[in-house]
Chains A and B, each alone.
Chain A
Amino acid sequence: DQQVKQNSPSLSVQEGRISILNCDYTNSMFDYFLWYKKYPAEGPTFLISISSIKDKNEDGRFTVFLNKSAKHLSLHIVPSQPGDSAVYFCAARAAGGTSYGKLTFGQGTILTVHP
């Protein structure tokens, strides 16, 4: 049973426009959410995160929104740049448990930004 889902395998946007990547989760114990970015032949790189006590976190061109009641989060990139083209993974961390650092990832969304 997949607890973190990214239902869009791919997204294509024009340079300068907004990119919106979505993520849904099912586990109510998740209390911290992260977005990672991955280029081919590289490992995932941390991008931005949000605690469950917040509904928005912004870092430059990147903003993450969290809707706890809907168990949904989204990553907004404005303006999108060709260098943003990569695979974006949504990840979540559960409170408690034996391994608080354990992350549960979604399947990833391939973002392509066209010049």
Chain B
Amino acid sequence: EAGVTQFPSHSVIEKGQTVTLRCDPISGHDNLYWYRRVMGKEIKFLLHFVKESKQDESGMPNNRFLAERTGGTYSTLKVQPAELEDSGVYFCASSQAWTGSEAFFGQGTRLTVV
């Protein structure tokens, strides 16, 4: 069974540009989470989808970030326009259960804004 996959693995963009990250969760997992790790610090929660609905988006930094999960399958996270402080590794995780303990993480997308 395929794990959580994220595309692209790396992205380098200029400040002011737009970038879209994609996450394909494990098939059948209703819960999908986005997290971000900046500059070797802690991994921070961004938001949580249950199927196509946003359950909790309290961690989204500002309105330059837009997450979608159309049809309750894959999810995209768009940053528009990107700023230097958006650089970091963006992780996606999915789980079948309502709890984070069974969450499986993707390999992450390393975003560098120059």
Task: List A residues at the B interface (Cβ < 8 Å).
Answer: 2, 4, 32, 34, 36, 41-46, 49, 89, 91, 93, 97-108
Contacts and interface: CB of A to CB of B under 8 A. Distances in A.
Contact of B48 (A41, A99, A107): A99
B101 A43 contact: no
A105 B45 CA distance: 8
Interface of B: 4, 9, 31, 33, 35, 40-45, 48, 55-56, 58-59, 91, 93, 95, 97-108
A43 B91 contact: yes
Nearest to A36: B105
A98 to B, nearest CB: 5
B67 to A, nearest CB: 13
Contact of A102 (B9, B42, B56, B106): B56
